[in-house]
Amino acid sequence: MLQYRKKPLSWVFVSRMIWIICFLIVVVLANILNYYVANPVYTSGVTFLNQNFWLLVLIVIILLAADIFDAFSFPFNLPAPLIRAIGSVFCIAFILRAIQWVDAVAGTTLYTPSWWISFLVVPLIFLIVLISGYYVILRQLWGQPKLTGEEVTDTIVVNDENTDQAAMPVTDAKSWDEIGMEFRLMLFDILHRLRQDIRKKW
């Protein structure tokens, strides 16, 4: 069975931040060159980029959040497909604005049919990204190694040694102290993994 290895959280964060910095540099250079390039198409393109700057920043932040959640193991990676599907909707919105800009520059009429097609494409893309994301998570779970016979035997032995605890009444209800303890353990695991990833990188 295939084995899946997630990229370290530090690698995901650093690589995405590099892309964000490169994007900001491109925007700054494009605005600087706008003072020296006397081309109406280029000027219109820079204006379009500036008008949609915050939309692009929002898309980058959404996809960054999806990648960060995806770097965690199950079940903390469950929000990743949903966040990525939401990001795909904003990407389609940016593409529609780009088509509208092309119509204004080139004099074409592509925006109106694209707008009507988007009512079919947006939910379809959202479902495809969402379903494929959860399918990948299921494949990762199936690819995890299962307990061998020796490990199962050891587990049974340990359980036999704790017969006194097993004799106590068991209930599914958890106290607030137990819930708080689990939450603190989850935060400790996240911070511990992030520290290990940083040590491996450096």
Band of pLDDT at residue 176, cut at 50, 70 and 90: low
pLDDT score recorded for residue 158? 43
Tell me what percent of the residues of the chain surpass a pLDDT of 90. Answer: 18
What is the tens place of the pLDDT at every residue in 40-99? Answer: 888 888 898 899 999 999 999 998 888 888 888 777 888 889 999 999 999 999 999 999
What is the tens place of the pLDDT at every residue in 104-123? Answer: 888 778 888 888 888 888 99
Average pLDDT over residues 21-29: 91
What is the tens place of the pLDDT at every residue in 158-168? Answer: 444 444 444 44
pLDDT score recorded for residue 107? 78
Q: Which pTM does this prediction carry?
A: 0.63
Contact, 87 vs 66, CB < 8 A?
Answer: yes
